[in-house]
Structures are given as C-alpha cells and as structure tokens.
C-alpha cells in the first residue's frame, strides 16, 4: 500500500461522541403527496367548486412550475362559467376598469395629437355577452400579489356588487395548489370565521 492510503486508514470515519455512541438523525417524514403533488394523490376538485360557490372570491397559491391552474379552471368551465382573464400589472384602478366607463390615453408618438378613448366597464360588458346557458363570469386575475390592500378589498367585494361574478386572484406561490377566501387575505374578515 502507498503511504497516503495508510494515512487515510488511520483516522476514524466519523468523530465519536461522548460515551462512544454515534448520534442518529431523525428520519425525514414526507408523504407521497410531497413527491408527486398533493392534488394528484387526493383530488380536491369537489371542494374547489364548493368553495368557489360559497366564498365567491378566492385567493389561490399555485406551484412555481405552473400547470396546476388549468385543472381547476377546466372544472369551472365544465360547470358552465365563462372567463375574463386579466393581469394585475396592467389593470390600473380596478373599480374604474371593471365597473365604470373609463378613459384610455394611448401614448402619442411625436406629432400625433393626444387622444383619449372611453371603454365600457369590463365586467358589465362581459356579463351582457354571456350566453343564456352560462352560470356566470369568473374574473381570473394573475399576478394579484402586486395589488394593494385597498384594491384587493374591492376585488373581494366585486361578487356582492355583481352577483353572477366570481373572482379568482393568483396571490402568490406555494408547494401545492391551495386557496383561501380573498376576504381573509384582504383583511375584510378575521381568520377564525
């Protein structure tokens, strides 16, 4: 044997603790849901439909890799809802954009005159276009984590102003697809209710 091999053999592989015992680590506890996704092991689509009907406005947290939202969106589509997809970053004032006639001022490019166009309220316009067999309109807002607390409060109260409207706001990310009532996130109710 070489001298380096004998030098390595002379040292113990792990340092001994007092009493000559090695310390054992507690086994990691993880279930099957942690490895392949909780919604594939235990489908919760029935509870999803019940919570959408009960709370009418939900804050959802989906995994970073995406793709889970489509399963829940399709279940609402099969139920009979139509969708209005919006991004919170370009929404502006949610009250004016969704429920009032609002002006849009496009940027002028040099010598063009400054123009102002008026658009109808998004929610009322989409509600007027619903077919008779539709149950209602789902306003699905992505990137809702950038909205202020006052804007989230208005969005949470939108189903009380327009009864056929349901609101789903993507408020962040989590390891699996979870949701909470939007009124809790916006601070309109206490968490214990």
122: containing domain: 39-185
Q: Is residue 135 domain-resident?
A: yes
Let me know if residue 57 belongs to a domain.
Answer: yes
Q: What is the chain written as a DSSP string?
A: --HHHHHHHTS-SS---GGGPPPPPPPP---HHHHH-HHHHS--HHHHHHHHHHHSEEEEEE-TT--SHHHHHHHHHHHTEEEEEEEGGG--SHHHHHHS-EEE-PPP-SSSPP--EEE--HHHHHHHT--TT--EEEEEEESGGGS-HHHHHHHHHHHHHSTTEEEEEEEEE-SS-EEEEHHHHHTSS-TT-
pLDDT tens column, 40-66? 545 688 899 999 999 999 999 988 887
Q: Is the pLDDT of residue 26 over 90?
A: no
* Assigned domain for 15 exists: no
pTM of the model: 0.74
Task: Establish if 22 belongs to a structural domain.
Answer: no
151 is a domain residue: yes
Bridge partners of 81, per DSSP, are 136
Does any domain span residue 118?
A: yes
pLDDT of residue 36: 62
Residue 152 covered by a domain:
yes
- pLDDT tens digits, 135-187: 999 999 999 999 999 999 999 999 999 999 999 999 999 888 899 999 999 99
Kindly state whether residue 87 falls inside one of the protein's structural domains.
yes
Question: What pLDDT sits at residue 192?
Answer: 47
pLDDT greater at residue 153 or residue 106:
153
pLDDT of residue 175: 84
Tell me the per-residue pLDDT of 69-97, one tens digit each, with 9 for 90 and over: 888 999 999 999 999 999 999 888 999 99
pLDDT of residue 1: 53
Q: Which CATH number do you get for residue 95?
A: 3.40.50
Of residues 182 and 193, more confidently modeled? 182
* Residue 111: burial class (beta carbons within 10 Å; 0-12, 13-18, 19+): exposed
- Count how many domains the chain has: 1
């Amino acid at each position: 044997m070489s001298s380096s091999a004998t030098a390595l053999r002379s040292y113990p592989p792990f340092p001994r603790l007092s009493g000559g015992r090695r310390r054992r680590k507690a086994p990691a506890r993880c279930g099957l849901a942690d490895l392949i996704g909780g919604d594939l092991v235990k489908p919760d689509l029935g509870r999803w439909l019940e919570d959408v009907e009960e709370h009418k406005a939900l804050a959802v947290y989906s995994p970073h890799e995406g793709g889970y939202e489509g399963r829940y969106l399709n279940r609402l589509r099969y139920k009979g809802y139509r969708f209005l997809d919006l991004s919170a970053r370009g929404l502006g004032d949610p009250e004016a954009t969704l429920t009032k006639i609002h002006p849009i001022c496009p940027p002028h490019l040099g010598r063009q005159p400054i123009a102002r166009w008026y658009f109808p309220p998004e929610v009322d316009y989409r509600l007027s276009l619903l077919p008779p067999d539709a149950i209602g309109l789902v306003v699905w807002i992505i990137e809702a984590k950038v909205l202020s607390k006052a804007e989230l409060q208005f969005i949470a109260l939108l189903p009380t102003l327009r009864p056929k409207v349901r609101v789903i706001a993507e408020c962040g990310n989590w390891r699996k697809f979870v949701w909470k009532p939007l009124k809790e996130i916006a601070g309109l109710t206490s968490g214990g209710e």
